[in-house]
């Protein structure tokens, strides 16, 4: 049997969590060391996975299959292809750096790192699972630690935000459960295997496909989040502690998008084609509406939270296009948004730790006092607003090009979203970094080494992909090509 690398990546954090459970709670250094070690090892393993990954093969690689509940044909089935490998890497990357960013957590550390690692296992498992039952288990496992992480270590309205997040996501995902069951019973022989379902699901009658598609949609759309299911996001993102906001924006939102790529589109292609126009319209609403709402915010973190709504709109738009270019853009946007917005939340956290406020109107002239911070914030801001040469531009551009093929008017309106985005981000830079120094912040210190250590790698990824997008595209294009071919999209 080959080395079960995916199992190790997924369950290393859980192993760490169990170890932490048996560590005395006053051994703070030991707890942090365990957490850093396991997330670091998961990151190294996922880099190794990426190096050994065969770019040209659109099929599943590193597959692991063993029976779990044979009576119901449920398997422990993991694997990765061009669609999930980027997200697995992203999860381990953010998982490791957010873990280091968590050193600032001072209360109830043992519980924090236990839950944090459990969350990591849930997220990684969601991206690696190829059995719908297993997928659902991991998907739900994510909710519980996230509830505690927001609810215990969050801001002033943490309890409200935590329960809202939980109930919203659960409400979406139970419909997904029904959709999973419907797929199971319409396949012959009954199976939860996503790969087999991708072959049999498409033979279903269109009406049934549409019904099942809606079930999955409710589960995924809440996570993405697609308008009008986005209202949990600003609450959860704002109240969560910084490292958890990073994972929320960086990874959790991608679980929804990934679900469309892995389940909804390949398995229910007729329904996907049927819903292309609504997807495009919703994507457009997300982009433009999210941007406008972000512009109105005075809370720095809330602004970044709404910018996520806007940016995830490009994923919807790219998916709606049914073209190779659009799909590549959408998938890439998920990765890029993860690194850029992850970085943005870290930067917000850096400022909040020093100033204990996030009110944009209370800053001003910080560029003088915090030059390094100012530089990094500018890079991430420019990446986020889509400046060519940085990664955000590439993926947004590809999504728009792909979508323009089929939806000219919608794409044109969506492009306006970029202008608004530029508007609110530059306005933010102006209020935080430029202008006369607000005297409240005379003694503010610049970014620390630990904070730099968490931000620099994300910045390198952002610039590298912006300059040479093929780093990422190489991984995903074969799988995207295969997907487009299978669902009869346009190879453009």
Partner 1 sequence: MSVIESVRYILPEIILTGFALVSLILGLFVKKKGLLGALCLAGIALAVLSLQESYKAASPLFSGMLLNDSFSEFFKEISLLVTGLVILISMGYRSFSDEDSGEYYFLLLLTAVAMMFAVSSNNLIMIYISLEAVSLISYILVGFLKRDIRSSEGALKYFLFGALSTGIMLYGISFIYGLFGTTDLSAISAALGSGNVNNFTAFISLMLILSGLCFKCALVPFHMWVPDAYQGAPTPITALISSGPKAIGFAVLIRIFLKNFFPLFPNWVDIITVISIFTMTAGNLIAISQDNIKRMLGYSSIAQAGYILIGFAVGTPRGVEGSLLYILAYVLMNLGAFGCVVLISNSIKSDGIENYAGLYKKDPAIAFMLTLFLLSLAGIPPLAGFLGKFLVFAAAIESKFIFLAVAGVINSVVAMYYYLRVIKFMYLDEPPGTFEAQAQPICLQIALIVALAGVLIIGLFPLPFLDWIAASLL
Does residue 184 bind partner 1 (CB under 8 A)?
A: yes
Let me know the angle formed at the C-alpha of 479 by 65 and 393, rounded to the nearest 5 degrees: 130
Alpha helices of 187-275 — where are they, by DSSP H?
Answer: 194-200, 206-223, 232-239, 242-247, 253-259, 265-267, 269-274
Identified binder of partner 1 from the candidate list 47, 65, 171, 409, rule CB under 8 A: 171
Compare residues 141 and 198 and give the one whose CB is closer to partner 1: 141
| Cβ within 8 Å of residue 88, ≥6 positions away | 9, 46, 49, 80, 124, 127, 128
Backbone φ/ψ region at 467: left (φ over 0), alpha (ψ -120 to 50), beta: alpha
Q: Give the whole-angstrom CA distance, residue 317 versus residue 476.
A: 18
Compare residues 175 and 405 and give the one whose CB is closer to partner 1: 175
Taking the complex as a whole, how short is the minimal distance between the CB of residue 71 and partner 1, in angstroms? 5
What number of other Cβ atoms are within 10 A of residue 170's Cβ?
A: 14
Residue 4 carries which DSSP code? -
Identified binder of partner 1 from the candidate list 181, 281, 463, 464, rule CB under 8 A: 181
Does residue 223 bind partner 1 (CB under 8 A)?
A: no
Taking CB under 8 A as the binding criterion, the range among 178-186, 264-272, 310-318, 358-366 that sits at the site for partner 1 is 178-186
Q: Give the whole-angstrom CA distance, residue 195 versus residue 147.
A: 32
Does residue 18 bind partner 1 (CB under 8 A)?
A: no
Taking CB under 8 A as the binding criterion, the range among 39-47, 174-182, 232-240, 339-347 that sits at the site for partner 1 is 174-182
Judged by CB under 8 A, the number of residues near partner 1 is 32
Compare residues 12 and 141 and give the one whose CB is closer to partner 1: 141
Contact flags string 120-159 toward partner 1, x per CB under 8 A: -------------x--xx--xx-xx--xx--xx-----xx
Does residue 214 bind partner 1 (CB under 8 A)?
A: no
Taking the complex as a whole, how short is the minimal distance between the CB of residue 171 and partner 1, in angstroms? 5
DSSP 353-387: HHHS--BGGG---HHHH-HHHHHHHHHHHHHHTT-
Let me know the angle formed at the C-alpha of 324 by 408 and 492, rounded to the nearest 5 degrees: 65
Closest CA to 440 of 380, 356, 381: 356
50-89: which residues touch partner 1 (CB under 8 A)? 69-72
Does residue 208 bind partner 1 (CB under 8 A)?
A: no
Does residue 490 bind partner 1 (CB under 8 A)?
A: no
Does residue 281 bind partner 1 (CB under 8 A)?
A: no
Does residue 162 bind partner 1 (CB under 8 A)?
A: yes
Q: Give the whole-angstrom CA distance, residue 346 versus residue 374.
A: 13
- Residue ranges binding partner 1 (CB under 8 A): 69-72, 111, 133, 136-137, 140-141, 143-144, 147-148, 151-152, 158-159, 162-163, 166-167, 170-171, 174-175, 177-178, 181-182, 184-185
């Amino acid at each position: 049997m080959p080395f079960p690398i995916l199992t190790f990546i997924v369950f290393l954090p859980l192993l760490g969590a169990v170890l932490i459970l048996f560590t005395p709670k006053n051994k703070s250094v030991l707890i942090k060391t365990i957490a850093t070690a396991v997330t670091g090892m998961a990151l190294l393993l996922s880099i190794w996975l990426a190096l050994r990954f065969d770019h040209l093969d659109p099929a599943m690689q590193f597959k692991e299959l063993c029976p779990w509940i044979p009576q119901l044909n449920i398997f422990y089935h993991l694997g990765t292809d061009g669609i999930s490998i980027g997200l697995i890497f992203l999860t381990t990357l953010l998982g490791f750096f957010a873990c280091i960013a968590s050193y600032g957590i001072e209360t109830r550390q043992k519980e924090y790192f236990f839950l944090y690692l459990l969350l990591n296992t849930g997220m990684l498992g969601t991206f690696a699972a190829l059995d719908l039952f297993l997928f659902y288990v991991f998907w739900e496992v994510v909710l519980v630690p996230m509830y505690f992480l927001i609810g215990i270590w969050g801001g002033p309205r943490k309890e409200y935000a935590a329960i809202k997040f939980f109930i919203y996501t659960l409400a979406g995902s139970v419909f997904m459960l029904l959709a999973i069951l419907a797929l199971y019973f319409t396949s012959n022989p009954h199976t939860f295997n996503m790969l087999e379902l991708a072959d049999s699901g498409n033979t279903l009658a269109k009406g049934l496909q549409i019904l099942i598609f809606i079930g999955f949609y409710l589960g995924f759309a809440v996570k993405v989040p697609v308008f009008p299911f986005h209202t949990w996001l600003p609450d959860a993102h704002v109240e969560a502690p910084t490292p958890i906001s990073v994972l929320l924006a960086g990874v959790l939102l991608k679980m929804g998008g990934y679900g469309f790529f892995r389940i909804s589109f390949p398995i229910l292609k007729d329904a996907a084609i049927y819903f292309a126009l609504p997807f495009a319209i919703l994507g457009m609403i997300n982009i433009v509406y999210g941007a406008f709402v972000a512009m109105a915010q005075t809370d720095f973190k809330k602004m970044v939270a709404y910018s996520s709504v806007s940016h995830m709109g490009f994923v919807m738009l790219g998916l709606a296009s049914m073209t190779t270019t659009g799909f590549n853009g959408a998938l890439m946007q998920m990765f890029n948004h993860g690194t850029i917005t992850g970085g943005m939340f870290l930067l917000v956290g850096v400022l909040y730790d020093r100033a204990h406020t996030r009110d944009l109107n209370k800053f001003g002239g910080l560029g003088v006092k915090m030059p390094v911070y100012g530089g990094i914030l500018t890079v991430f801001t420019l990446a986020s607003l889509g400046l060519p040469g940085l990664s955000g531009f590439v993926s947004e551009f590809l999504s728009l090009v792909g979508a323009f093929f089929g939806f000219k008017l919608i794409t044109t309106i969506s492009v306006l979203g970029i202008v608004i985005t530029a508007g609110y981000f530059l306005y933010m830079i102006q209020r935080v970094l430029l202008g006369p120094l607000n005297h409240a912040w005379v003694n503010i210190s610049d970014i620390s080494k630990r904070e730099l250590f968490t931000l620099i790698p994300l910045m390198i990824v952002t610039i590298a992909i912006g300059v040479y997008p093929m780093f990422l595209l190489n991984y995903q294009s074969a799988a995207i090509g295969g997907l487009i071919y299978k669902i009869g999209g346009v190879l453009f």
